[in-house]
Amino acid sequence: MNRDIFWLTIRELAGRRRLALVVLLGVLPSLVSVAYRLGDQNTAAARWTADTLLYNVIITIFLPLVALIFGTSALGSEVEDGTAIFLLSKPVTRGSVISAKLMAAWALTAVFVVPAASVSGAIAIWGTPEQGIITGFVVACVLGALAYDSLFVMLSAFTTRALFVGLAYVFIWEGIINSIFSGTRFFSIRQCCLGVAALISSAPEETFSANLSGLESIVILAVAVVVPVWAAVRLLRMYQVGESG
């Protein structure tokens, strides 16, 4: 990984508008938790925290959106405005470029998602045994962020419409298709995150359960990182040839 490209990407991604949007999104889970605590609380705190808050709000909505914002911008902005050719003309390997971009996007995604999950989860489950629920989902968020960012960085190297393709994956494939066809769970980062959380947590199945085992989830997440990174490197090499020809 090239450190100069990493820190340059961090500075580029930390724009005021982008950060303001992510911060605003990050506050919402805690507000939802406060609303739950002030409400009737008809659902047990542990079950509500795991199933409604951490899965349906954090894993389903917040995590992929934040990863989409940073992942597609890490490389996509340079591809769109044509400045990528200057980056690729430097004596650095394409693998170094992609790894630096990915690590920057992953770092920023984790910086925002982990506190949001931890704080909102702590508020919601306050006074109830935690049973490793928050820990499990925090680890799932970190691993899921790497997988999502890998996918979105690859998409930004493939198309200038990476944001729209990423939204389609998150809300159509993972949101609609995955809920209709159970076999698609093996191609869902969201389902893998739930599997990791269930593996780490000691909560009973009636609190929350996963459609994938912990081992299956870890293997699939590893593939979801390696394959997009490999593809992104290949695409950058093609992009360089196309620009120089």
Report the alpha-carbon distance of residue 149 to residue 225 in Å, rounded: 8
Report the alpha-carbon distance of residue 64 to residue 7 in Å, rounded: 23
| pLDDT tens digit sequence for 82-116 | 555 555 556 677 788 889 999 999 999 999 999 99
Block residue for tokens 């200057």:
86
List all residues 6 or more positions away from 141 whose beta carbon is below 8 Å from its beta carbon. 58, 59, 63, 110, 113, 114, 117, 193
Give me the amino acid identity at 115: P
Report the alpha-carbon distance of residue 28 to residue 119 in Å, rounded: 11
Q: Where are the domains of the chain?
A: 3-244
| pLDDT tens digit sequence for 204-220 | 888 888 888 989 999 99
Tell me, what's the pLDDT at 8? 81
Block residue for tokens 């990423």:
166
pTM for this entry: 0.88
Tell me, what's the pLDDT at 41? 67
pLDDT by 10s per residue, the chain, length 245: 777 788 888 888 887 677 888 888 889 999 999 998 888 667 788 889 998 899 999 999 999 999 999 999 888 666 555 555 555 556 677 788 889 999 999 999 999 999 999 999 999 888 888 889 999 999 999 999 999 999 999 998 888 788 899 999 998 988 888 878 777 788 899 999 999 999 999 888 888 888 889 899 999 999 999 999 999 888 877 765 444 33
Q: What is the DSSP code string of the chain?
A: --HHHHHHHHHHH--HHHHHHHHHHHHHHHHHHHHHHHS---S-HHHIIIIIIIIIIIIIIIHHHHHHHHHHHHHHHHHHHTTHHHHHTSSS-HHHHHHHHHHHHHHHHHHHHHHHHHHHHHHHTTTS--TTHHHHHHHHHHHHHHHHHHHHHHHHHH-TTHHHHHHIIIIIIIIIIHHH-GGGGGG-HHHHHHHHHHHH----TTT---SS-HHHHHHHHHHHHHHHHHHHHHHHHHHHHHHH-
